[in-house]
């Protein structure tokens, strides 16, 4: 099984229960109706980045879906964030990488840059492949006392 497409999405949720907060975050990201299976960070050669809208059209409720998931949760009054960065190879036909990054106290613009930088470094240091382009998606939310706040950033393979 080798995916040939993927899309990026993110979301946030709040609830008194941590698992429900996570579920709300997934629904906010548009992927709450799928059975997510976390995988590591490799983008297959020739795997195409598509829009979230086009990607969701290819999925069915209840489907098992592979993804790279960055998740952050808190029950405190603090800023939490999650991001995934994507690095595509400079030479077509090589693998790419996805890098998850989470933090407390950093805004989504900062974690987005860190995730993107991490994806490029992972590609170079692990596989000796130079990134030709990179991008990222991130989500931030401010937590509340005694209420679970969850943020997710996800690369979804289809």
Active site residues: 35, 40-41, 100
144 exposure class (CB count in 10 Å sphere: 0-12, 13-18, 19+): middle
Tell me the torsion sign for CA atoms 12, 73, 107, 41: negative
CB count in 10 Å sphere of residue 2: 8
Q: In the numeric block, which tokens belong to residue 7?
A: 């899309």
DSSP-derived pairing of the beta strands 5-15 and 48-49: parallel
Measured between alpha carbons, how far is 11 from 84 in angstroms, rounded to an integer? 12
- Residue 47 sits at φ, ψ, to 5 deg, of -75, 125
**Pick from 148, 137, 144: which is nearest to 30 by CA?**
137
Output the six-digit token pair for 102: 């989470």
């Amino acid at each position: 099984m080798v995916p040939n497409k993927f899309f990026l999405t993110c979301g946030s949720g709040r609830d008194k229960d941590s698992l429900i907060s996570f579920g709300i975050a997934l629904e906010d990201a548009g992927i709450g109706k799928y059975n997510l299976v976390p995988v590591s960070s490799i983008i297959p050669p020739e795997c195409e980045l598509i829009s979230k809208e086009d990607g969701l059209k290819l999925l069915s409720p209840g489907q098992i879906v592979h993804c790279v998931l960055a998740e952050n949760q808190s029950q405190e009054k603090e800023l939490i964030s999650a991001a995934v960065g994507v690095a595509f190879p400079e030479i077509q036909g090589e693998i790419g990488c996805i890098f998850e990054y989470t933090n407390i106290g950093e805004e989504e613009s900062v974690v987005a840059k860190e995730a993107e930088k991490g994806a490029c470094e992972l590609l170079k240091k692990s596989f000796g492949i130079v990134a030709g382009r990179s991008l990222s998606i991130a989500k931030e939310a401010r937590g509340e006392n005694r209420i679970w706040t969850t943020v997710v950033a996800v690369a979804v393979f289809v």
